[in-house]
């Protein structure tokens, strides 16, 4: 047993069958234990969620929906999917939940299939401003098959300007509007988007993949009463397995279900459905609300500490779990900084910043999030140290002082050894 009272998994059978993969899995466990994971879309699932994903449910085919399958032998699968749906409905206060989308991008594609036709106009946040590929960005199928029109953030505030969104919506008359994104550090004004969508008769989709856990935990407003469809992955702040859900009012349930299956997907991944159900049960508990509050408190404190060290935070800070940092004035590009941080055991991703002047593969910023470190038990007091490390490494990256990076690596290892990662063997 590990210190969370969980049975450790030594990968005995995997080691016998495929030592090469087993050793890589073990190495990843050690890496996840040993590093400070600050990618805002990552987390640590509980041992229970991890266990559910590794069950015999992976052996079963279940095309269709509970009670209406194309395969027999659904005695256990139907109740699992019904439980997952019901837990999602209760947690988010929605009429209907579809828990079958394989991940966020297929979930969003299903929404297009349900409500739009190729060539229709879709209004979404520009990718370099913080949106997602599937919100109509050019290189995505959604920007190829649909006509993507984009809104961004204001240069002076770093925040979405709803006047601009309304102006665009009135001019372009989109069939669908997406709100939410992947690098949005501020509260999404779902009510404001809802008013615009109603005015132009568009279907409004809230992609809450990043903030679903914050909504469930009561620290971000819910989009439910303002939007037509809520799309979310299940593995970010929500702390479930890799998967997704679409949630909507009763009137849209049939269109959404039909778009997911048979429109876009075949058999659901039942092991994932079970793990989603487990994660949703966990997310309904008081501990999860405490975690959600702590995620935000940690991000705010980390933002303050970084700002005090001359880091330029897009929008000046955060309301949620993530910080978007423009490194231009620190004289080091995002990718070089991210790679130096990685060598120091601090894992972030390079990211475009609004009004980006560099390429998306070598942009000006980094994106930092607090869900994973919060799941390990770090609190505001540790954010001082985290900010100091980031400052030291970014400064070292600008000057090529690799020995300072190595020194931080050792300090990170020491701190993280005191905070065992949920779900991982000791």
Site residues for ligand DSN per CB under 6 A: 41, 104, 132, 182
Q: Out of 81, 189, 207, 319, which one is annotated catalytic?
A: 207
Terminal CA-to-CA distance of the chain, rounded, Å?
9
Residue nearer to ligand DSN on the CB measure, 38 or 247: 38
State the nearest-atom distance from the C-beta of 349 to ligand DSN, in Å: 7
| 61 given a catalytic annotation | yes
- Rounded CA gap, 146 and 139, in Å? 11
Residue nearer to ligand DSN on the CB measure, 57 or 238: 238
State the nearest-atom distance from the C-beta of 378 to ligand DSN, in Å: 20
Three-state SS for 176?
A: strand
Classify strands 96-98 and 244-248 as parallel, antiparallel or unpaired: antiparallel
Residue nearer to ligand DSN on the CB measure, 104 or 333: 104
- Rounded CA gap, 106 and 100, in Å? 10
Tokens of 409: 């690596």
When computed from its CA atoms, the radius of gyration of the chain, rounded to whole angstroms, is 22
Residue nearer to ligand DSN on the CB measure, 130 or 194: 130
State the nearest-atom distance from the C-beta of 182 to ligand DSN, in Å: 4
Residue nearer to ligand DSN on the CB measure, 183 or 196: 183
| 175 given a catalytic annotation | no
Q: Out of 242, 258, 309, 358, which one is annotated catalytic?
A: 242
Structural contact between residues 363 and 404, judged by C-beta atoms closer than 8 angstroms:
no
Three-state SS for 26?
A: helix
Residues 6+ positions from 334 with CB-CB distance below 8 Å: 327, 350, 351, 358, 362, 363, 364, 365, 366
Report the residue closest to ligand DSN, judged by CB. Answer: 41
Structural contact between residues 353 and 314, judged by C-beta atoms closer than 8 angstroms:
yes
State the nearest-atom distance from the C-beta of 278 to ligand DSN, in Å: 22
In 3D, which of 418, 103, 67 has the Cα closest to residue 246? 103
Q: Which regions of 72-145 does DSSP assign to beta strands (E)?
A: 96-98, 121-125
Q: Out of 34, 42, 51, 63, which one is annotated catalytic?
A: 63
Q: Out of 2, 29, 34, 61, which one is annotated catalytic?
A: 61
- Rounded CA gap, 101 and 108, in Å? 9
CA distances from 5 to 2, 47, 104 (A): 5, 9, 32
Q: Out of 85, 150, 175, 236, which one is annotated catalytic?
A: 236
State the nearest-atom distance from the C-beta of 39 to ligand DSN, in Å: 7
Residue nearer to ligand DSN on the CB measure, 47 or 184: 184
| 236 given a catalytic annotation | yes
- Rounded CA gap, 372 and 42, in Å? 6
Residue nearer to ligand DSN on the CB measure, 196 or 368: 368
State the nearest-atom distance from the C-beta of 236 to ligand DSN, in Å: 7
| 233 given a catalytic annotation | yes
- Rounded CA gap, 195 and 191, in Å? 6
Residue nearer to ligand DSN on the CB measure, 38 or 203: 38
Q: Out of 35, 121, 182, 233, which one is annotated catalytic?
A: 233
| 156 given a catalytic annotation | no
- Rounded CA gap, 236 and 370, in Å? 11
- Rounded CA gap, 267 and 232, in Å? 19
State the nearest-atom distance from the C-beta of 199 to ligand DSN, in Å: 29
State the nearest-atom distance from the C-beta of 165 to ligand DSN, in Å: 21
- Residues of 240-255 as b/e, b for ≥16 C-beta within 10 angstroms? bbbbbbbbbeeebbeb
Residues designated as active site? 61, 63, 207, 233, 236, 242
């Amino acid at each position: 047993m590990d210190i969370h009272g969980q049975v450790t998994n030594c990968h005995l059978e995997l080691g016998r069958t495929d030592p090469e993969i087993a050793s890589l899995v073990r190495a990843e466990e050690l890496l996840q234990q040993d590093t400070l994971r600050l990618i805002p879309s990552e987390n640590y699932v509980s041992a229970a969620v991890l266990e559910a994903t590794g069950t015999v449910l992976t052996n079963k085919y279940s095309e269709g929906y509970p009670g209406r399958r194309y395969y027999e032998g659904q005695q256990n699968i139907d109740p699992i999917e019904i439980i997952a749906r019901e837990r999602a409905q209760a947690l988010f206060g929605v009429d209907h939940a579809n828990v079958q989308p394989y991940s966020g991008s297929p979930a969003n594609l299903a929404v297009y299939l349900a409500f739009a036709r190729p060539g229709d106009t879709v209004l979404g946040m520009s990718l370099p401003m913080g949106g997602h590929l599937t919100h109509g960005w050019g290189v995505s199928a959604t920007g190829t098959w649909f006509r993507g029109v984009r809104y961004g953030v204001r240069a002076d505030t770093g925040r979405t300007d709803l006047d601009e969104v309304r102006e665009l919506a009135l001019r372009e008359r989109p069939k669908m509007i997406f709100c939410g994104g992947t690098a949005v550090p501020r509260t999404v004004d779902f009510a404001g988007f809802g008013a615009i969508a109603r005015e132009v008769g568009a279907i409004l989709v809230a992609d809450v993949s990043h903030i679903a856990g914050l909504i469930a935990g009561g620290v971000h407003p819910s989009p439910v009463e303002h939007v037509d469809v809520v799309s979310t992955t299940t593995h970010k702040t929500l702390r479930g397995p890799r998967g997704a859900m679409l949630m909507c009012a009763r009137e849209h349930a049939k269109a959404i279900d039909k778009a997911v299956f048979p429109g876009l997907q075949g058999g659901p991944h039942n092991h994932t459905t079970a793990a989603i159900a487990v994660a949703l049960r966990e997310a309904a508990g008081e501990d999860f609300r405490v975690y959600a509050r702590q995620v935000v408190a940690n991000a705010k404190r980390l933002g303050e500490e970084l700002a005090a060290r001359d880091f330029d935070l897009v929008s000046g800070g955060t309301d949620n779990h993530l910080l978007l940092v423009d490194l231009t004035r620190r004289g080091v590009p995002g990718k070089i900084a991210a790679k130096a941080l990685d060598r120091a055991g601090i894992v972030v991703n390079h990211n475009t910043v609004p009004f980006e002047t560099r390429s998306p593969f070598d942009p000006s910023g980094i994106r930092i999030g607090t869900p994973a470190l919060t799941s390990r038990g770090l609190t505001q007091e540790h954010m001082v140290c985290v900010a100091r490390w980031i400052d030291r490494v970014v400064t070292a990256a600008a000057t090529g002082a690799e020995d300072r990076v190595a020194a931080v690596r050792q300090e990170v290892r020491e701190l993280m050894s005191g905070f065992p990662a949920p779900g991982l063997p000791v």
